Amino acid sequence: MSKLAIIGAGSWGTALALALSPRYDRVSLWTHEEELAARMSRSRENDVFLPGFVLPFNVDPTPVAEEALEGAGVVLGVMPSRFARRLYGEMLPFFQPEMVFVSATKGIELGTLLRMSQVLQQTIGIRFQPRIAILSGPTFAQEIASGEPAAVVIASTDSELAASIQASFSGPAFRLYRNCDPIGVELGAALKNVIAIAAGVCHGLGLGSNALAALITRGLAEITRLAMAMGGKPATLAGLAGLGDLVLTCHGELSRNRSVGIELAKGRKLADIVNSMKMIAEGVETTCAAIDLARKFAVDMPITEQMGSLLQGARSARDALRELMDRELKNE
């Protein structure tokens, strides 16, 4: 029997359990919250992170890592980036060399500035060399859970692995494209959240479509510059994991990062905004990591820099906008 283990029962992990359940005999959905796992088992609903959707009969919520991972052929990591290293480390005794690992976490580890696949490789590499792929693209959990059509990317330097996951995960409403550029895919996935905060600021300030179009275009330019400096391919950033995901998170009302920007533009304190949210807005921490990466690789990222100042409370939303517009004139 085929089994998929999903680590993380937030909205995205739960949505993936719903979308991928027809593709596997069994799907285990791990959460660190024992009470939530018990409620999901009884009611067949994730009433905290994705209410209103019924878990299929073959999805088994559990707070026990060994139980979740036993017999799994594919391990899908969907935890927030800040918890990735700790969780992979705690679950290390239950990982097996024959497992394949798919990372669907969109973020960069603070301090180390490592991408999530690098965190996974470093953690599991203590025991064995894992086969790793990255799942990313323009997706909102609610729409995936509803069965609405979506196209995403599965990226790996291991073409055989990418093809295998593509075949296993693809279905009538969930289409995967292969990609051989994990660097570009992961950076696009993480950094678009920073630009989405800026898009929320534009909305919160009452700015129109002109400003948003300029923001998305110039935001993509600075994401691409950093990705190329780190070894990524520009074509990747023009695809689903780059432009596609960026457009979605900057326009979509379901975007948590965009919501953070809207509230910042209203003058709310970042701590109050974050504390009022059920789920983590990855862009907040990613902004700090992105600024450090930009400095490390000597890449100009003015929008990201301004978002950093805004998040730290060092600059108002209007002052950040003014700084961007008053920069030295240059070629595109």
Using a cut of 0.85, tell me whether the model's pTM lies above it. Answer: yes
One domain for residues 143 and 201:
no
Note whether residue 331 is domain-resident: no
One domain for residues 230 and 316:
yes
pLDDT at 1 over 70: no
Domain holding 305: CATH number? 1.10.1040.10
**Overall average pLDDT of the 312-321 stretch:** 90
One domain for residues 175 and 214:
no
**Overall average pLDDT of the 19-43 stretch:** 97
Structurally, how many domains does the chain consist of? 2
For helices 302-311 and 317-325, give the axis angle rounded to 10 degrees: 160
One domain for residues 52 and 175:
yes
128 Cβ contact list (under 8 Å, min separation 6): 95, 97
One domain for residues 243 and 267:
yes
pLDDT at 93 over 90: yes
Please, what's the b/e burial string for 270-285 (b: 16 or more CB within 10 A of its CB; e: otherwise)? beebeeeeeebbbbbb
How high is the pLDDT of residue 127? 97
Alpha-helix residue ranges (DSSP H) falling in the chain: 11-20, 34-43, 65-69, 81-91, 116-124, 141-145, 159-169, 182-204, 209-229, 234-237, 245-251, 256-265, 270-275, 283-296, 302-311, 317-325
* Residue after which a domain boundary falls, among 158, 180, 202: 180
Domain span at 137:
3-180
Q: How many CA atoms lie within 13 A of 156 on its CB side?
A: 23
Domain holding 160: CATH number? 3.40.50.720
One domain for residues 247 and 198:
yes
How high is the pLDDT of residue 278? 80
Note whether residue 251 is domain-resident: yes
pLDDT (tens digit, 9 = 90+) per residue, 180-214? Answer: 999 999 999 999 999 999 999 999 999 999 999 99
One domain for residues 79 and 124:
yes
How high is the pLDDT of residue 280? 81
The more confident residue out of 332 and 134 is 134
Note whether residue 332 is domain-resident: no
pLDDT (tens digit, 9 = 90+) per residue, 230-276? Answer: 999 999 999 999 999 999 999 988 899 999 999 999 999 998 998 89
* Average pLDDT score over the chain: 96
Note whether residue 14 is domain-resident: yes
Q: What does the alpha-carbon distance between residue 152 and residue 143 come to, in Å, rounded to a whole number?
A: 13
Q: What does the alpha-carbon distance between residue 202 and residue 214 come to, in Å, rounded to a whole number?
A: 11
**Overall average pLDDT of the 93-99 stretch:** 97
Q: Which stretch of 81-85, 126-130, 167-171, 310-314 has the lowest confidence by average pLDDT?
A: 310-314
One domain for residues 199 and 176:
no
pLDDT at 279 over 80: no
* Residue after which a domain boundary falls, among 180, 211, 242: 180
One domain for residues 9 and 91:
yes
Instruction: Look up residue 251 and give its two tokens.
Output: 């326009």
DSSP annotation of 108 reads B
Q: Which of 106, 192, 233, 269 is flagged as catalytic?
A: 192
278 is catalytic: no
One domain for residues 98 and 120:
yes
